Amino acid sequence: MAKPSAPILFFNSLSRTIEPFTPIDPERVRLYSCGPTVYNFAHLGNLRAYVFTDSLRRMLNWKSYPVNHVINITDVGHLTSDTDTGDDKMEAAANRAKKTIWDIAHFYTEAFWQDLKNLNIFNPTIWSIATDHIEDMIAFARKIEAAGFTYLLDSGLYFDTSRLKDYGLLAGHREEEGVGRIDTVAGKKHPADFALWRRSAEGEKRQMEWISPWGLGAPGWHLECSVMSMKYLGEQFDIHTGGIDHREIHHCNEIAQNQAFTGDDKKTGANFWLHNNFLVDRSGKMSKSKGSFLTLSTLIEAGIHPLAYRVLCLSAHYRSELEFSQDNILAALTRLKRLVIGVGQLKKKIQKKTGSETEPDWLRAFDERSYSKGAPLDYQRELIETPLKKEALAILERFDQAVSNDLMLPQALPLLEETLGNKKLQPEEQLRLIASMDMILGLNLLHLDRASLNMRPKNASLLENNVLALLEERQIKRKEKDFAASDAIRDRLSEAGIDVLDGDPLGWEWRPQWNA
């Protein structure tokens, strides 16, 4: 069977154009993604970046490319401003909690990893921890210094951006948009200059500080990504991802460091720079600086399955803003429920046709996590797709064209619903198509069931068995036309955090109330 083979196209932030993608090494794609600063929980806006990156990696694997994927963990160096001002985020968090900075880093790293697991996001090939690479960063900065790109101030070693003719190219109109929001640091030659190494202030005792040629202190935030991406992926690799907020300063500074280190202005670090846009919350709860923000745990505690958030992310193109609201997340949950119900019905049809209560051999053998270490999907796709006929292959071709066109997942996602509703396809063909498409979409549709989606809110005062018993009693009262008793039961459920769904076309009788 000839697999779909639409050419891969990406919008490259460096050129501001759609470009065809060809890996430097045809045997392996090298991908670097900016990771979290682990001083607090990741909010939902942060997590959108990792749904995007996971979908990107899955698509490349689906297209038969092995992927070497690196994500960093920033546990030192990131100031409260993305430039060179404010307190160190890690030190500040440790002081507030009256804990060691190492304890803070460990706790929030583990919390972040749990979020990724709940969102069905694969681990990268390498988790790269900033504090494991301090000596590498010092050596990197020394080479830049020797090349004449730095100057020393009392506050640390700074990069002289005027030495690069194309500094800020990634940000577009750098002088007009980017520099204007960079705060002044005493002694800097140019507003855009940034710290490679920050000296500890006289009399200051930090929990994280190291001896360097420029004094006791800590690396600048921008340094770690240049150092770790080059160490694990080489001086020039294929793709660098991150949030659009990194495009104006952080990634410009990465590129400057890369060019200075290599002595080659063509070595920007990555051939393609891909940036996901913001998640917008009109309630203002998506900013850690305001002290109140929505996390994945917020959704889970409200009784919303975490994969509903993945559905929400897939419903908008990664370069577009995505609005978060109560209505939107509940609509995404409903969409997920429809898909899960549909897949469950397909399995029952197949079992009825075969006269067996067990799943088909190919489904039992299917394991999407077999490629979680970056392996391509040739074997899994062949296992699933070989029996597909013309009608099914036509849908798969449209899916391939969508995901290959700058990861246009909002066009790919509806093909799941189209497949479920396609009466021309046999149930097994439908299920095989969904299995293949879900390798990229990552919704775990072959293994989710109805019961797992009906999650109780954390603060619900009734056990699920009590809820079901009350719903059954309410149905009896409604049949007896005892509407007063029926309404009383509905009110009791509402007080317990449960919304009754009379006449729900999906057959769901209740859902958790939204209390976030």
Residue ranges at the known binding site for Zn(2+): 34, 225, 250, 254
CA distance 379 to 377: 6
Closest CA to 144 of 21, 258, 298: 258
Q: Which amino acid is residue 88, in one-letter code?
A: D
CA distance 480 to 111: 50
DSSP readout, 332-377?
A: HHHHHHHHHHHHHHHHHHHHHHHT-SSPPHHHHH--GGGGTTS---
Q: Provide the 3-class DSSP secondary structure of residue 496.
A: coil
Q: Provide the 3-class DSSP secondary structure of residue 331.
A: helix
Tell me the binding residues for ATP: 288
Q: Which amino acid is residue 30, in one-letter code?
A: R
Count Cβ neighbours within 10 Å for each residue of 459-482 and write b for 16 or more, e otherwise: ebebeeeebeebbeebeebbeeee
**Helix and strand counts by DSSP (H, E) for the chain:** 18, 17
Which residue in the block uniquely carries the two structure tokens 């609201």?
325
Element at 276 (helix H, strand E): strand 270-276
Q: Where are the alpha helices (DSSP H) in 368-482?
A: 378-385, 390-404, 409-412, 414-420, 427-441, 450-453, 464-479
Cα 216 to Cα 114, 158, 213, 501: the distances in Å are: 35, 15, 8, 62
> For the chain, percent helix, then strand, then coil, each to nearest 5?
45, 15, 35
Tell me the binding residues: 34, 225, 250, 254, 288
Count Cβ neighbours within 10 Å for each residue of 135-146 and write b for 16 or more, e otherwise: ebbbebbbebbe
Residue 33's DSSP bridge partners are: 71, 241
CA distance 147 to 129: 27
Give phi and psi for 23, each to the nearest 5.
-70, 150
Residue 20's Cβ-count burial label (10 Å; 0-12, 13-18, 19+) is: exposed
Closest CA to 97 of 167, 29, 24, 38: 38
Half-sphere exposure of 61 (CA within 13 A, CB side): 33
Contact yes or no for 47/41 (Cβ under 8 A): no
